[in-house]
Amino acid sequence: MFYRQMNLQTGHKASYMEINFNFIKICLISIIMLSACTTAPKYQGPVVTIWDNATQLSTTKAYYYQLVAMDGHHVTTSSETARKRMFVLGNELVPIPIAHNIPLHSTLLTIGGYRYNALYNALNIFGLGDTIYDIKGKILVNLDATKSYVVNGKHTNDYSLIWLEENKTGIIVSPIISQGNISARQLSDFRQEKIRKWKQNVLQQKIKQKQQSKLLDEAIVFIENQGCEQNSKTNNTKIYNTAVILFKNKKYNDSLRCFLKISNTSDTPHDKYKYLSMIYDVGLGVEEDPEKSAYWYDKYKEIDMNLKMQSN
């Protein structure tokens, strides 16, 4: 009766009620559509981990390369998680890629590259904007349980690429989905360049490990020859470098002796006080001592502040 009276008195109020009712219907339909495609079905068996990937462009924008669906079933994406987090907390965008555990057997994955704009998505509380991808496609993969993987890609003014690669090595393990002006030869060269960089990184790591092993051997010989007990000032730099190497290789007792030996010297980096503070704070090779830790940290901060003031 109330609504009928309003309709007789003014058609404007009646149309307003109709608009509200239509809006409610749209909202309900949107909720039903989203609830029908939010998660993949439960799976019992061996799984492998695939990470989304994100690059922050500004406080409100980020570019996401992410897993969108598995065997046709939508999965929660990192950009959706970011939108919900910002909608609730209201803080600036901090893109945090999430991990997906998917079946180990051959699986059809949908991956997509998406430019996330927080200002736009804040208005879209139902997340429909996440369906608008710059690039999107399906890949059939058969992955290794001993490895983890990450969705990665490249976006330029001329073209967009997206693929799946090994998390540790960066080697591409899927077809490269492309869009825009790029040739098959360029895609092949791009894949080979990723392999070349991986091999180069492996070689560099081997060289670095060999150098570190050599430095540790030299530090141990220096300690065995009572190097930290020598009184010659010319050895202070050598003592400091030895102490740092020993600390990084978890030989804390020997490291502590060397740092204490040069604690009153002015010709060695003041970082030695920070190392001493950490040793006593956590109890690395010695009992925890908060007072000593605070003492050495105060010395570090005092010198550090003076150096910053001088540089200004």
Domain boundaries of the chain, sorted by first residue? 2-35, 47-182, 210-311
- Position 173, amino acid: V
CA angle (121 as vertex; 119, 122 as ends), nearest 5 = 65
The pTM of the full predicted model, rounded to 2 decimals, is 0.57
CA distance 124 to 274: 48
**pLDDT at residue 4 is higher than 70:** no
Of all residues in the chain, what percent carry a pLDDT higher than 70?
Answer: 77
**Residue pLDDT, tens place only, 212-245:** 899 899 898 888 887 787 665 558 888 999 999 9
Please check whether residue 284 is in contact with residue 292, taking contact to mean a CB–CB distance below 8 angstroms.
Answer: no
Degrees (nearest 5) of the Cα angle 227, 231, 235? 55
Residue 191 · residue 164 · CB < 8 Å = no
Instruction: Using the predicted structure, report yes or no on whether residue 15 has a pLDDT greater than 80.
Output: no
- Summarised one tens digit per residue, pLDDT across range 117-157 is 766 655 555 545 445 788 999 999 889 989 999 999 988 88
pLDDT higher than threshold 90 for residue 276: yes
Side chain identity at 253, as an amino acid letter?
A: N
Buried b (16+ CB within 10 A) or exposed e, 2-13: eeeeeeeeeeee
Residue 89 burial (C-beta neighbours within 10 Å; 0-12, 13-18, 19+): exposed
Helix (H) or strand (E) run with residue 297 in it? helix 290-311
**Token pair listed for 137:** 């496609």
Highest mean pLDDT, choosing among 6-10, 76-80, 83-87, 116-120: 76-80
Residues 188-205 have pLDDT tens digits of 998 898 888 888 888 888
Is residue 17 predicted with pLDDT exceeding 90?
A: no
Amino acid letter, 102: I
The candidate with the shortest Cα–Cα distance to 284, out of 156, 292, 33, 175, is 292
Per-residue confidence band for 55, with pLDDT thresholds at 50, 70 and 90: confident
Residue 131 confidence (pLDDT): 56
249: buried, middle or exposed (CB in 10 Å: 19+, 13-18, 0-12)?
middle
Residue 76, classed as helix, strand or coil, is: coil
Q: Which residues contact 209 (CB under 8 A, 6 or more apart)?
A: none
Q: Which residue has the tokens 């439960």?
A: 42
Contacts for 14 with CB less than 8 Å, ≥ 6 apart: 3, 6, 7
